[in-house]
Amino acid sequence: MKKEEILNFEKMFSLELRSTDEGAKSEFYSHFSTKIDDFAKHMATSLWRWHELYETIPEKDERQGMVVGIVFMTINLNVQSFKLFISGYTVAGGALFRQAMEGIALALLCSTKGLPVLDNFMADKYSTNDSIHHLNRNAKAAGVNPESLKTLNAAYRVFHKFAHPTKLTIAASANFSKEAAPNLGAFFDPAKKAEYEKDINGRVSFAGVLPNAVDGVANNLKAW
């Protein structure tokens, strides 16, 4: 490869790393602004419920403090994930969303009296990859609403595919509105609008049940 071609690629990557991705983000906002606002409302409610929970935790209670920390991590990861998604980073946003779902499952399990999950997690002896599966097994003990669990399971099945290289993650780098041309970095592909909408609907649905999940954690902790 000619030296000038390599230099052109270096310039391309330098520009990409400095990009604010405003072009992709503005496209997502132009198509999905109402649902983005819905997501923000749900997350505001979740953060308020978390704040109420945080205020009830004894200052030196390490175990309850860990549970509250897991809940905040979940809220934070969920917002970061959505921001990545509407900035055009669909794979990165999907992988992070998977962590958010595992996070709320972990919080519910850790807050449930009689389960060993919190102690095992604090001792680095628990794999959070198992949290969704274990929540399904212990849903009644954790006080989880069956409909909320259905929403969580449905989203997890979809976004699990973003955690590993799959045909879906390969397709995410191809711009189908331009004959599946490879596209470096963040972008909005008009040909994927229907898929984007499904993605956003799943995220908004999850955000909608998250306040109830935070309340569930709070109710579980009251039983300690």
Query: Which residues constitute the domain of residue 205?
Result: 36-163+192-222
Structural domains counted in the chain: 1
Residue 11 belongs to some domain of the structure: no
Is the residue at 26 inside a domain? no
Count CB neighbours of 4 within 10 A: 7
Q: Which residues does 210 contact at the CB level (< 8 Å), separation at least 6? A: 42, 43, 46, 74, 75, 78, 104
Q: CB–CB of 68/54 below 8 Å?
A: yes
Helices (H), the chain: 3-18, 22-56, 62-86, 90-111, 117-122, 131-137, 139-142, 146-159, 167-171, 193-222
Supply the pTM of this predicted model. 0.91
- pLDDT at position 1 is 59
Could you tell me if residue 169 is inside a domain? no
Instruction: Report yes or no on 179 lying in a domain.
Output: no
Question: What pLDDT was estimated at residue 142?
Answer: 97
> Is position 2 within any domain?
no
Beta bridge partners of 174: 182
Nearest to 38 by CA among 192, 212, 205: 205
Distance CA 220, CA 212 (A): 12
Walk along the chain (224 residues) and give the pLDDT tens digit of each residue. Answer: 587 788 888 888 898 888 888 999 999 999 999 999 999 999 999 999 999 999 999 988 999 999 999 999 999 999 999 999 999 999 999 999 999 999 999 999 999 999 999 999 999 999 999 999 999 999 999 999 888 899 899 889 888 878 778 888 889 899 999 999 988 899 999 999 999 999 999 999 999 999 999 999 999 999 99
pLDDT of residue 184: 87
Is 69 inside a domain boundary? Answer: yes
Residue 31 lies in a domain: no
Q: Please indicate, yes or no, if residue 67 is contained in any of the structural domains.
A: yes
Whole-angstrom distance, CA of residue 204 vs CA of residue 128: 23
